[in-house]
Structure 1
Amino acid sequence: MPPPPPPQLTDYLRILMGEVPWSFLLECALRLVAMYLLLLTGLRLMGKRQAGQISRTELAGLVSMAVSIGIPLLSPDRGLLAPVAIVATVVVLHRFVTRWAARRPAVEQLLQGNVTTVVKDGVLQLPVMERVVLSRERLFAQLRGDSLEHLGQVRRLYMEANGTFSLVEEDEPRPGLSIVPHWDEDFCNVQPVVAGKLACQACGQVVDAAPAPTQNCPHCGAHEWKPAVEAIK
C-alpha cells in the first residue's frame, strides 16, 4: 500500500474538517450539550462555593472535570461514559475530602493552607509576602481598591487561604508610606506630608526624621526613606 500523500497547505477541506465527515459537526454540538449539562451537574453537586472564590481542592476538582470533557468532545472515537465516570469520581472525592477537613482542622490546614498577616500596624511583613509569593504592587493595588492612600491606614491585612484579602482599617490612621503610584505626580503632590516622620520605602516602617536617619530600617534593614504621608481630607 503506497504511503498517504503529505499534507498540502491548499487542502482547505482537510484543514477545516480533518478526517471526519460533515455530520460530525452535528455530533460535536450534541456532545457539547451533553458535556455542558454534565459539567453543570458536577458543579451543582460540589456545592455553592463553586460560584465564588474557590479553594485549592475545588480548583483541583474543576480542572479534573474540564480535562475529562476535552477529548470526548472532539474525538469521534471516544465515548461519553468515561467523562461521566470521571465527574462522578471527582464529586464523590470532593465531598469526602470536604467533610473530612470539616471534622479535622489539621487536615483542612494541610489542604487549604493558613491565613497569613501581610500588613501589621502599617508595616509590610516582607518575609511573609515572600513566602506566599505576593508582590508589593499586587498588595498596593488591593489596598487602593479599598480606597486607601497609605499604609498608615491599615491595622491588619490578611491573606486568606484561598488567596483573597481581608482588611481591618485603623480607627485613627497614623502616618504611613504612600501607596499611590510614583508616576501619578499630581496625586502624590497633594498628599499631605507629615513633618518629622519618614517611612521606609521597602516595608513602610515609620521613624522620626529629626535628625534624618542614617541607619538601616529597624524592621527590614533597608536604607531608603520617603516622607510619611496622611490621607487627603
Structure 2
Amino acid sequence: MKPEDIHLTDWLRILVGEVPISFYLEAVLRVVFIYLLLLACMRLMGTRMGSVLTRNEMVAMVSLAAANGVALMAPDRGLVPVVVVAAIIVGYQRLIAWWALRSKKFESVVLDDVRILVQDGRLQLNGLQASVLSREQMLAKLRQESVRNLGMVQRAYQEASGDFSVLMFTEPQPGLSILPTEDAAFRDEQQKVEGQFACGSCGHLESNAQVPTHQCTRCGEQEWQPAVLG
C-alpha cells in the first residue's frame, strides 16, 4: 500500500481491511482448524502443557503461536505449512522428553534443575544469583507463603518449572524478620529473641550480648538485626 492511499477517515479500510468479505468466512474455518491443531499439539506434548511451563515448553508454545498467527490473517498463506511446523515442534518436544528421561545431565542442561534458595533459615545467595532473583523478590515469595521470618523456613526450592516450593520447620525457630521495613508497626509486634542477631543480608544467626560489629562470616555484610520469633 502506498502512503498516499492511507487516510485516517477511511473507516472501511481500517475496520474491514482490503480483503473480500468472503475471506471472513474462510477466517472462521482457519480459526477452527488451528484451534483443533493446537489442542492436538498440546495433547501430544503431554499434560504438563496445561500447567506451569518450563523454558523449553514456553519456547514451543511461542513458536506454535508465531507459526499460526500469519496463517490466520493472511489469505495468501496456506495451512499446510502450519501443520508441518506443528509436527516439527511436537516431534522436538517429545524427543526432548524422551532423552531427558534417559539422561540426568541432559535434563539439567535443557530443562534446568532444582535450586536451593533457603536452607535452615538462611538465604543461599549463590542460588539466588543463579536463578537471577533479587533478595527482595525471594522475600516477597516467602511472604506469599505466610512466612514472617527466615527461621520458619527449613528449605525453599526453585523447581525446574520456575515455581517455588517452601518447606517449614515443625517448631518455631528464630530468624531474620522479612516483613517490609516500611511496616515498622507490624515488625515491632514480632517477639525479639534476646542475645540473638541475624545478618540483614543472608539471615545467618549469631549469639551476642550486643549488636555485632564484625562482618557476617557467610556473606561479608555488616548489617545486623535482632532475631525474631513469629
**TM-score for both structures, normalised by structure 1:** 0.92
Quick one: which amino acid aligns to residue 115 of structure 1?
V
Give distance in 2, aligned partners of 1:147 and 1:13: 55
Q: Which residue of 1 aligns with 2:199?
A: 200
Give distance in 1, aligned partners of 2:164 and 2:3: 59
Q: Which residue of 1 aligns with 2:165?
A: 166
Pairing 1:192-231 to 2, within 5 Å after superposition: 192-231=191-230
- 1:15-58: CA deviation from partner (whole Å, max 9, x where unpaired): 11222122322222221111111111100111111111222322
SS of the aligned residue for 1:29 comes to helix
Q: Which residue of 1 aligns with 2:147?
A: 148
Q: Which residue of 1 aligns with 2:28?
A: 29
Partners of 2:174 and 2:229 within 8 A in 1: yes
Range that drifts further, 14-23 or 76-85: 14-23
Q: CA deviation at 1:142?
A: 1.9
- 1:155-209: CA deviation from partner (whole Å, max 9, x where unpaired): 1111112111222212333211111122223321211111111111111111124
Partners of 2:211 and 2:224 within 8 A in 1: no
Give distance in 1, aligned partners of 2:62 and 2:117: 29
The alignment's C-alpha RMSD in Å is 1.6
Partners of 1:198 and 1:207 within 8 A in 2: yes
Percent identity between matched residues is 45
Which stretches of structure 1, 4 residues or more, deviate above 4 A after TM superposition?
none
Gaps of 5+ in 2: none
Q: CA deviation at 1:121?
A: 1.2
Q: CA deviation at 1:154?
A: 1.0
Partners of 2:199 and 2:216 within 8 A in 1: yes
SS of the aligned residue for 2:222 comes to coil
Give the paired residue count: 229
Give distance in 1, aligned partners of 2:34 and 2:180: 46
Gaps of 5+ in 1: none
Residue 135 in structure 1 maps to residue 131 in structure 2? no
Q: Cα distance 1:4–1:126, how it changes in 2: closer, same or farther (>3 A)?
A: closer
Partners of 1:154 and 1:173 within 8 A in 2: no
Q: Which residue of 2 aligns with 1:83?
A: 82
Quick one: which amino acid aligns to residue 213 of structure 1?
P
Partners of 2:155 and 2:168 within 8 A in 1: yes
Range that drifts further, 57-66 or 79-88: 57-66
SS of the aligned residue for 1:5 comes to helix
**TM-score for both structures, normalised by structure 2:** 0.93
Quick one: which amino acid aligns to residue 108 of structure 1?
E
- 1:129-158: CA deviation from partner (whole Å, max 9, x where unpaired): 112101222212221222221100111111
